[in-house]
Amino acid sequence: VGNAAAVGFGFIGYVFSSDSMKELTIPQLVAIVAHEFGHWKWAHSTISLLLLILQILLINSALYLFRRRSWYRSIISQPYSEPLEVPFALSFAIFTIAMTPIDTIIAMIMNLASWAKEISADRFAVELGYGQDLIEGLAALLDSVFGVLLTYSSPVYGLLYLDHPPNNVRFSLIRSMMK
């Protein structure tokens, strides 16, 4: 499996890679590392952490507000009786079902944010002059990992299910940055 990752907070940044990156040419490897340093330069780890905290706060706040409302209690109560005190597990199950469409929207927003981070890291590598090498290196790594899924996925499918842009979208963006 071919992969590289960057983690960095403040002045400290790390780039990790797998053994399959040994198959890349030196310019392709430098382009991939430049992309990963782009993540560090633009503080993507910090942004991801803040987005995750925000997501957790929003979902927990929604659960709290859901539990405070009595409308859903009347669904499981007998007609003309006082609303029941619903056990947490049951209210959590109802909340989870009710949140499904909202979770889809949240996932799309999170994927869109991830796409923006990937594109800005790509731009960093392109600005250093490694655009074509980045395309070739990503093609070699991503095809070995995800094959057809990331290569030919539509942008709509990608926004729903992928945290990286599909190759066809990503490579056309990189080519447009190189002009």
pLDDT given at position 82: 62
Split at pLDDT 50, 70, 90, the class of 76 is low
* pLDDT tens by residue, 125-172: 999 999 999 999 988 887 665 554 555 677 888 888 888 888 888 999
The number of residues in the chain equals 179
Q: Report, as an integer, the average pLDDT of 84-111.
A: 85
Q: CB pairs under 8 A, 24+ apart, for 6-15?
A: 6/36, 6/37, 6/39, 6/40, 6/44, 6/45, 6/121, 7/40, 7/45, 8/39, 8/40, 8/43, 8/45, 9/43, 9/45, 9/46, 13/37, 13/40, 15/40
The model's pTM is 0.80
pLDDT category of residue 78 using cuts at 50, 70 and 90: low
Q: Is 12 exposed, middle or buried (0-12, 13-18, 19+ CB in 10 A)?
A: exposed
**Type of residue at 41:** K
Distance CA 87, CA 131 (A): 56
Beta-ladder partners of 69: none
Alpha carbon distance 22, 29 (integer Å) = 8
Judge whether residue 2 has pLDDT over 60: no
Using the predicted structure, report yes or no on whether residue 47 has a pLDDT greater than 90.
yes
pLDDT, residue 1, reads: 42
Q: What separation, in Å, do the N-terminal and C-terminal C-alpha atoms of the chain show? A: 32
